[in-house]
Amino acid sequence: MKVYELGNMDDFELLSISKDTDITGVFCCDLLSIAMGKAPAGSAWVTVMANVNTLAVASLTDVACIILAEDVTFDNSLIEKAKEEGIAVFKTKKPIFDAALLINNSL
């Protein structure tokens, strides 16, 4: 499944820029220390941790996109930063598990 295809699903709203990258798996974690060491490159990373360090971890681990669950969102400055750095960010009202399951079922 490609990152841009997430934007076509009802439950996911694109906040930054879309991409043609493949999503190769799903990773769930809110502790950035753990995400930094474990998030697989190419995965859709589902989290409720929405600060500037979330973007740094996403960029350094090469995840395919960030999914902000539980209706959590980035403020405008973070959305702009995500666009600048070419990081795809989506938000969803779904809880982390449900969001991850939805993506996983579509892979």
Partner 1 sequence: MAEVMELNYTVSNEDFTRAGEASSDVKKKLKQLGVSPEAIRKVAIALYEGEINMIIHAYGGQIKVTISEEMITLVLADRGPGIADIEKAMQAGYSTAPDKVRSLGFGAGMGLPNMKKNSDTMDIKTELGVGTTVTMTINL
Task: Give the interface with partner 1 as residue ranges (CB under 8 A).
Answer: 30-37, 41, 49, 51-54, 56-57, 59-62
Q: Given the complex with partner 1, which of 68 and 102 has the nearer CB atom? A: 68
Residue 63 Cβ vs partner 1, minimum distance, rounded to whole Å: 11
Give whichever of 14 and 79 is closer to partner 1, judged by the CB atom: 79
Cβ neighbours of residue 89 closer than 8 Å, sequence gap 6 or more: 14, 15, 16, 65, 66, 67, 68, 74, 79, 82
Question: Which amino acid is it at 88?
Answer: A
Q: How far is the CB of 44 from partner 1 (least distance, A)?
A: 18
Nearer to partner 1, 5 or 84 (CB): 84
CA distance 95 to 81: 25
